[in-house]
Structure 1
Amino acid sequence: MKTYKEILQHYKKDKVLLAAIDSIPHEIKPALDIDVYRALLNSIVSQQLSVKVVEIIWKRFEDLFVDGYPEAEKLLAIDDTVLRSVGLSRAKTQYLKNVAEFALENEMSFDYLTKKTDDEIIKYLTTIKGVGKWTVQMILMFPMDRLNVFPVDDLGIQQRMVSLYGVDVEKKLLKPALIEIAENWQPYRTLACKYLWKMEL
């Protein structure tokens, strides 16, 4: 497997992206996390919230457990009102419990999932109510460090690509246009997106 530094060399044919990456002072490094179950819970908590708010709610959530780890059985045993008291919405409370139920009844180990393709993992985990494609893509990109994920539905990615490449098309044509641009990054679209998120709008 190529290192991130080696992957950056692959972007040489996209001078716009490479120039933007060069303007970012901090190097992005892999953040592999084999605990996919915990990462999925965290991803649900993170939906539509700022990083700072997520940190506060996640810490309160972890504090509900004696050892700080949200084991599935213990999570399911906690009353919904207690979970909501730490800042979780009614929907997120149910989604977290859906993940816990799934984890008890199905395989979610890193070793099991790593044998599947990206599309297979998306299909597998989106059977959990409350877990959508974007959420699983974040799992693929960060804790699983899959190399070729392109979350075209992500608003941050859309905004930065429109700004960077001067994309000016009808709304219905936006996603196809962005997918075409990202073809130049194949088969390493993940790292390009991680750098896009670091860019100032």
Structure 2
Amino acid sequence: MASRRSSRLAAMVTNAAIRDPAPPPPPPLSRKRKATTEAPAVEETGEAPSTPRKRRTKGTADVPETPTPTAVNLIAEAAHTQKPKPAAVARLADPSRTNALLRSPKTSRIIAPTPVEAVPSKLRDSIKPTGPAATTTTATTTTTTTATILEEACAHLIKVDARMKPLIAQHHCRIFSPAGLAEQIDPFESLCSSIISQQVSGAAAKSIKARFIALFNDATTTTTDPPAVTDDISSTTTTPTFPRPAQVASTPLDTLRTAGLSQRKAEYLQGLGQKFASGELTAQMLADAPYEDLLAMLTAVRGLGRWSAEMFACFALKRMDVFSTGDLGVQRGMAAFVGRDVGRLKAKGGGKWKYMSEKEMEEISERFRPFRSLFMWYMWRVEETDVSTME
């Protein structure tokens, strides 16, 4: 009886299994398997596959995938910018000769002084480097160049007189710096400026010079320099240019005087223009002439005295061994430099005085050869003499 019941129950279980089979086990969780299992669902629905949206995590919504560089202004710089000026190129320099780059008044061609033998640098004697940089420093200071001549001059002045050290530390002389020696100088313009500035204030000289230049410029005159950076890249600038010597020589005196020049100064400028136009004076002559010959050449021109020639040699030709005993500012500065009471000396003179004799000035300045131009510049600084019109 019991065996019959057991066989009947077993048969019932077997029939149920055949009618309702058990579900298969879940496939392993892998990307490959997941793709195969999801493919049929796409085919059944007919919808295009899409990337599911990621949940935004708090605090990361504004973080870019690539961090922005800190120097982003270099990347975002405007494409149309003015071409930067090239760095000053070091040239051989000589304290006793012209160190400026002169521009021909006729052709605007650059006139460099005739090459001469290199001058040994004085930095080797005044600076004794130590450490790993000792060999490289010695190698780079074997000759005097426009990059080192100011440093040499300052070291020489301090070596001669330690009282120069605070003056040099307080005032930087740009005239003989690498940047100053890289400037292009038109000797005709420089000499004209010297004549215009005689016996007038600095402001008056600048005003007269501007009106003098305007006589030879009209609205159609444009510069060949690249235009300044503006929002409109097609815009151009108009810059007045200094006249050529032939233009000044052929201009009537009455016309020149409309710029505010006196009759005599108009004659001086016209005569100077004739000297350059005829070739009696050239930029090459001024660049190569020995100092005494240079003074004789310039003082032969009407309107140029010794003081004007000395200032031209110092500020325009960038000669490092110029010294003027006739300059009142240098006299006053030297008197204060050696410890004299400048105020008492002025009162004692009664209007016609000398703070120091020419002989004494020569004796003191002699020790600073061959860099007396720099010494003279610092003597102006002692009493804060305004030399802006000469610079």
TM-score by length of 1: 0.88
What does 1:56-75 correspond to in 2, within 5 Å?
A: 56-66=207-217, 67=221, 68-75=241-248
1:9 aligns with 2:168: no
- SS across alignment from 1:185: coil
1:126 — aligned with what?
299
- CA drift of 1:41 comes to 0.8
Q: Residue 29 of structure 1 corresponds to which residue in structure 2?
A: 175
Residue 152 of structure 1: aligned partner: 325
Q: Give the CA deviation at 1:167.
A: 5.1
Kindly indicate whether the alpha-carbon contact (under 8 Å) linking 1:37 and 1:103 is maintained by their aligned counterparts in 2.
Answer: yes
Query: Residue in 2 aligned with 1:53?
Result: 204
Q: Does 2:363 correspond to 1:180?
A: yes
Which structure carries more helix by proportion?
1
Answering whether residue 20 of structure 2 is matched by residue 20 of structure 1, we say: no
Q: Distance in 2 between matches of 1:154 and 1:173?
A: 11
Assess, with a 3 A threshold, how the Cα gap between structure 1 residues 198 and 48 changes in structure 2: closer, same or farther: farther
The one-letter code of the counterpart of 1:183 is: E
1:165 aligns to 2:338 (yes or no): yes
Name which of structure 1's ranges 173-182 and 11-20 shifts more when overlaid on structure 2: 11-20
Could you tell me whether the CA contact under 8 Å between 1:46 and 1:54 is conserved in 2? yes
* Aligned-pair CA distance for 1:181: 0.8
Confirm or deny: 8 A CA contact 1:4 1:29 kept in the other structure: no
What displacement does 1:173 show? Answer: 6.4
In the TM superposition, residue 142 of structure 1 has moved relative to its aligned partner by 1.2
Larger Rg: 2
Q: Deviations over 1:92-118 (max 9, x none)?
A: 111111111111223433322222111
Structure 2 distance, partners of 1:48, 1:88, is 12
- Higher mean C-alpha displacement, 147-156 vs 108-117: 108-117
Question: How far does residue 35 in structure 1 lie from its aligned partner after superposition?
Answer: 1.9
SS of 1:142's equivalent?
A: helix
Identity %: 29
RMSD of aligned alpha carbons: 2.3
Structure 1 residue 165, shift from structure 2 partner? 1.4
More moved, 169-178 vs 84-93: 169-178
Equivalent residue runs for 1:90-109 within 5 Å: 90-109=263-282
CA contact (8 A) 2:333 2:379 kept: yes
Structure 1: which 5+ residue stretches go unaligned?
none
Asked if the contact 2:212/2:259 (under 8 Å) is kept, the reply is yes
Give yes or no for the alignment of 1:189 onto 2:362: no
Return the letter of the residue paired with 2:379.
Answer: L
- 1:27 CA displacement: 3.9
Q: Structure 1 residues 34, 23: CA separation in 2 closer, same or farther (over 3 Å shift)? A: closer
- Kindly state the Cα deviation for residue 60 of structure 1 after the two structures are TM-superposed: 0.9
Partners of 2:373 and 2:211 in 1: how far apart?
31
Query: Which structure 2 residues correspond to residues 34-45 of structure 1 after superposition, within 5 A?
Result: 34-45=185-196
Distance, in Å, in 2 between the alignment partners of 1:29 and 1:128 is 26
